[in-house]
């Protein structure tokens, strides 16, 4: 899954709470939603590209950092 966080203040680095929440949201919408401690890549949009003729959802990332998070709780 992909999540894009708007950054109207043009901060170089988003607060860690925002990064963690966005990462947990992405995990909760992905195939890893039932796992724990899932790796999530964080980067700026300018570093994300879609390779030519690649299937939907596949991207290449030039520069990123990885954090490990648990998914958000699933509402029943």
For the chain (76 residues), the mean pLDDT of every run of 10, in chain order, is: 89 92 91 88 93 92 94 76
For the entire predicted model, the pTM comes to 0.81
The answer to whether 22 touches 65, Cβ cutoff 8 Å, is no
* pLDDT of res. 31: 85
Rounded Cα distance between 62 and 47, Å, is 5
- Cα(66)–Cα(45) distance, integer angstroms: 15
| DSSP state letter for 9 | T
CA quadruple 20, 40, 2, 30: dihedral positive or negative? negative
> CA–CA separation, 58 vs 70, rounded Å?
23
């Amino acid at each position: 899954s992909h999540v894009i966080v708007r950054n109207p203040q043009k901060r170089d680095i988003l607060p860690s709470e925002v990064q963690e929440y966005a990462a947990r949201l992405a995990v909760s919408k992905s195939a890893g939603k039932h796992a724990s401690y899932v790796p999530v890549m964080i980067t700026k949009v300018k570093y994300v590209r879609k390779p030519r003729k690649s299937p939907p959802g596949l991207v290449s990332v030039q520069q990123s950092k990885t954090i490990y998070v648990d998914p958000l709780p699933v509402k029943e």
